[in-house]
A and B are shown apart, each in its own frame.
Chain A
Amino acid sequence: EEQLVESGGGVIQPGGSLRLSCAVSGFIVSRNYMSWVRQAPGRGLEWVSIIYSGGDTYYADSVKGRFTISRDSSKNRLYLQLNSLRVEDTAVYYCARSEAAADPFDVWGQGTLVTVSS
Chain B
Amino acid sequence: SYVLTQPASLSVAPGKTASLTCGGNNIGNKGVHWYQQKPGRAPVVVIYYDTDRPSGVPERFSGSISGNTATLTISRVEAVDEADYYCQVWDGATDQVAFGGGTKLTVL
A residues neighboring B (CB under 8 Å)? 35, 37, 44-47, 50, 56, 58, 60-61, 94, 101-106, 108-111
User: B76 to nearest A CB, angstroms?
Assistant: 24
Bound Cα distance A35, B88 (Å): 13
* Chain B neighbourhood of A50, CB < 8 A: 95, 97
Bound form: Cα–Cα A95–B37 in Å: 15
In-complex Cβ contact of B101 among A44, A105, A111 (8 A): A44
Chain B residues at the A interface, C-beta cutoff of 8 Å:
1, 30-31, 33, 35, 37, 42-45, 48-49, 54, 84, 86, 88-90, 92, 94-102
A60→B96 contact, CB < 8 A: yes
Top 5 nearest A-B pairs (CB, nearest first) are A108-B42, A47-B97, A104-B33, A44-B102, A102-B90
Cα–Cα distance between A106 and B89 once the two chains are bound (Å): 14
How far in angstroms is the closest Cβ of chain B from A8?
17
Minimum CB distance partner of A108 in chain B: B42
Q: Is the CB of A110 within 8 A of B33?
A: no
Contact B45 A58 (CB under 8 A): no
Of A44, A56, A109, the residue contacting B42 (CB under 8 A) is A109
B94: chain A residues at CB < 8 Å are 58
- Could you give 23 example pairs across A and B, Cβ below 8 Å? A37-B97, A44-B84, A44-B86, A44-B101, A45-B43, A45-B86, A46-B99, A47-B97, A47-B98, A58-B94, A58-B95, A58-B96, A102-B90, A102-B92, A104-B33, A104-B45, A104-B48, A104-B88, A105-B43, A105-B45, A108-B43, A108-B44, A110-B42
Specify the chain A residue showing the minimal Cβ separation from B104.
A44
Give the contacting residue for A94; candidates B30, B42, B96, B98; CB below 8 A: B42
Q: Are B1 and A61 in contact (CB-based, < 8 A)?
A: yes
The residues of B that contact A108 with a CB separation of less than 8 Å are 42-44
Q: How far, in Å, is B38 (CB) from chain A's closest CB?
A: 13
